[in-house]
Amino acid sequence: MTSSRSPHLRFGLLIAAFAFLLDQVTKWVIITPLSLEAKRVIEIASFFDLRWAENCGISLSMFASCTDTTRWTLVAVTGIVAAAVGFWMTREQAKGDVIALAMILGGALGNIVDRVRYGYVVDYADLHIGEFRPFMIFNVADACITLGVLLLVARALLLGEKASDADARSSVK
């Protein structure tokens, strides 16, 4: 009997752990040595600031509500999503998809820890062009989740087209 366990699982778990640790260490630096919460804004460059933001909602601060009910509901929902991503990662055979899933998992775990510890997700990265802000204020976990999702979508679209082309070529013969 062959195992359906991913041959890339260990590598994926290392990436997830790295994403999680990078997120948590970065937030520690933001909160403790830099004391961003008290300062509110630290200008780094003309296009990038460290700006304190407490995200009580989900992506893009949607459904923001800083109640205990919302907090624990989001912890539970994010935990379920993280568990599903982790399970998918154990079964995924494609290394590129495992990497994407690991980034999503590490980011989700980082944001879960924030919600449990503080009641909100600590956001601080503010990319902007003058007053124009093409992105919401985010953190390393958000960046990992976004990049992981984009990688999954890109791979699905690109590899889906290659598979369709290969099927078309084989049926022509």
Of the candidates 23, 114, 123, 126, the residue annotated as catalytic is 123
Q: What band does 165 get if pLDDT is binned at 50, 70 and 90? A: low
Report if residue 167 sits inside a domain.
Answer: yes
Report if residue 115 sits inside a domain.
Answer: yes
Q: How many domains does the chain have?
A: 1
Q: In this predicted model, what pLDDT tens digit does every residue of 116-164 receive, in sequence order?
A: 999 999 999 999 998 888 888 999 999 999 999 999 999 999 987 665 5
For residue 126, indicate whether it is catalytic.
Answer: no
Report if residue 17 sits inside a domain.
Answer: yes
Of the candidates 114, 142, 165, 167, the residue annotated as catalytic is 142
Report if residue 100 sits inside a domain.
Answer: yes
Report if residue 89 sits inside a domain.
Answer: yes
Report if residue 90 sits inside a domain.
Answer: yes
Report if residue 42 sits inside a domain.
Answer: no
Bridge partner list, 138: 125
For residue 114, indicate whether it is catalytic.
Answer: no
**Which residues span the domain enclosing 166?**
9-37+57-119+140-172
Report if residue 126 sits inside a domain.
Answer: no
pTM for the model: 0.86
